[in-house]
Each structure stands twice: as structure tokens, then as C-alpha cells.
Amino acid sequence: RSGKTTTFTANSLADIATLLIQARIARGWSQRHLANQLGIAEQQIQRYEANGYATTSLTRLCEIAAALGLHITETAQLAPEPSAA
């Protein structure tokens, strides 16, 4: 909440939910403030965060990240194919 933390790490796309919540808290924003920034109900942010953003569209995730001023970079790496047994 102090605003000193500015970098967060996600090891997979599944970690994006935690990253968004951490960024909101680091900004010192309440769920209500974020909701107001997005023009949606506070309860919607509560639902998103309660279920780890599992049902949130990619478009909405991008909107949330933008509202938070969060720049996300991700490196995708193709894992080797499993060998045929």
C-alpha cells in the first residue's frame, strides 16, 4: 500500500489475477476506486477478484491493467514435444 512496490512477477498467464490484485493494492486503490475507473459496479470487481478473474474476458483484463497503469510483458516459450513412447 505504500506505493514502493512497482514490479510484480507472473510465471504464467494463470498468475495474472494475483498480479492485478497486487497492483491495485500497491496503488492504494480500493475495489470501489478501480470499479469507478472502469465505470462498473464495485461488486463486479469483488466477483472478479473472488474467483481469481477466472471468468473475465481478455478484453476486460486488458482494461483493468490499463486502468491500473500496469504494463505487462510476457515471454512465451514453446515447450518441447513429449517424446513418443
pLDDT digits (tens, 9 = 90+) for 63-78: 999 999 988 777 777 7
As a whole number, mean pLDDT of residues 31-55 equals: 96
State the helix-helix crossing angle for 58-68 and 16-27, rounded to 10 degrees: 30
Three-state DSSP state, 12: coil
Q: 27: which residues sit within 8 A by CB, 6+ positions away?
A: 3, 68, 69
Single out the residue of 5, 44, 47 nearest to residue 24, CA to CA. Answer: 5
Q: What pLDDT, on the 0 to 100 scale, is given for residue 79? A: 76
pTM of the model: 0.77
